[in-house]
Amino acid sequence: MSLKSARTTVRRLPRRAAYDHDGVHAILDAGFICHLGHVVAGQPFVIPTAYGRDGDVIYVHGSAVSRTLKNLAEGVPLCLTVTHLDGLVLARSGFHSSMNYRSVVVLGSAVLVEGDEKVHALRVISEQILKGRWDEIRGPSRKELRATTVLRLPIDEASAKVRTGPPMDDEADYELPVWAGVLPLSVRAGPPEPDPRLPAETPLPAYLRRRRR
């Protein structure tokens, strides 16, 4: 089933849009930071936060006293966005210079998560950030769970938009003596920096070795 709706239909350069579950999920799975947009009393707010995807739902979490999560838990309509910047597209003109990217927009309303699903959601978010970490760390205590709010957003209404490839200049501009092409960009993990209080004999976990690669 398509995730396309009147609200998620891409109007600008629609050939770059996709509305299939696999395409949207792939972009969501490539990251773990989203931006939550919502309006309260006429004032827009856009808040960055970590997320995790499990099937056709997205989980987000934060402090139990977070104004944003309190508002969203009441059913305030929200817009969740995720963007990956893959390169600077350097054209022969400023007008045609662009960026290569992958982005997703999800619209809907979130619901509060409690009980066993709350712990499951926290695991999903942790594994999205660093797969394998959850099984090694101490799980949340009852006090910590009370201090944490978790929300679930169904992926029912969404769109993806992707740009790839070289610049697309005006034909006449190809004669200009200007360098043109793509400057690739990526996020890479650096060497892990141990906590000063970590015993020297503590081995580097396999998930960190994988992340470095």
Q: Quick: pLDDT tens for 163-211.
A: 999 999 999 999 999 999 999 999 988 999 999 999 999 999 999 988 7
Amino acid 212: pLDDT: 64
pTM attached to this predicted model = 0.93
Contact 62, 86 (CB under 8 A): no
Phi, psi of 22 (to 5 degrees): -60, -45
Going along the chain from its start, the domains and CATH numbers come out as: 14-190+200-212 (2.30.110.10)
Q: What does the buried/exposed string (b/e) look like for 97-129 if buried means 16 or more CB atoms within 10 Å of the residue's CB?
A: ebebbbbbbbbbebeebeeeebeebbbbbbbbe
The 10s digit of each residue's pLDDT in 67-120 is 999 999 999 999 999 999 999 999 999 999 999 999 999 999 999 999 999 999
Amino acid 213: pLDDT: 63
